[in-house]
Amino acid sequence: MAARAAGYLESARNLTGSAAALGGLALTFAGFAGAYWPVVVGGLYGAGALLAPPRRPPAPAFEGPSSRLDELRADLVTLRAYLDRVDLPAAATERLTALAGLLDGLLAPGWASEALAEDPEGVHVVARAVRRDVPESVDAYLRTRWWTRLAPGGRAPEEELERQVALLHGEARELVDGLREAEELRQRSHTRYLEDRGGGVLRRTSAEEGRPPEP
């Protein structure tokens, strides 16, 4: 109870009501309230307390997108170390190297990773590739290859792995292309803004000189 009472004394409601009540006392001393000064002071206090903004708890502070990218960078390092330890076909290795290069470029600290951080779906694509899709594809290949050597037959696991890695590389490439197109759109928008602004200046200048504006 004491803590709640102390909290109310420090609240905006009490402070605003007290300020309004002080105004009522000033009116009383000036002779405007008369014998009803307690009602005036109390009413002003209540009105001030009601008008004060309600107390609200501070909003929770969650980790920003950049902190999630830090975790992804560390996970990509772990994934690269894993890929260096496994024996993969040359075609899949080449495509995985290209995929890792794209992911490195997206996650490297700087304006590219800042653009990625503003795209939740893009962050999800990268996280899914690093933490699930690539490890699962490689591990499934290694397990299937053992069974194929034990009992040959069926589709070669190398072909399946190369197909999976090609799909993952294409997905990452689409993400990079989308981010690039967003930057190109931003650049073109700025060009149109400068052209519109320059066109307005040209029209005003032509009017002042008494000649028609250039087409």
pLDDT of residue 14: 61
Taking Cα atoms as reference points, which of 114, 31, 129 lies closest to residue 72? 129
pLDDT of residue 198: 77
Q: Which residues contact 154 (CB under 8 A, 6 or more apart)?
A: 148
Residue 34 DSSP label? G
Q: State the Cα–Cα distance between residues 32 and 160, nearest whole angstrom.
A: 92
pTM: predicted TM-score of the whole model, two decimal places: 0.62
Question: Which residue is associated with the tokens 């490195």?
Answer: 104
Mean pLDDT, each 10-residue run in order, the chain (215 residues): 55 65 66 63 67 64 67 93 92 93 91 88 93 95 85 82 95 93 90 81 53 51
pLDDT of residue 197: 84
CB-based burial of residue 130 (10 Å sphere; 0-12 exposed, 13-18 middle, 19+ buried)?
buried
Written as six digits, the tokens of 116 are 């990625």
pLDDT of residue 118: 87
pLDDT of residue 155: 77
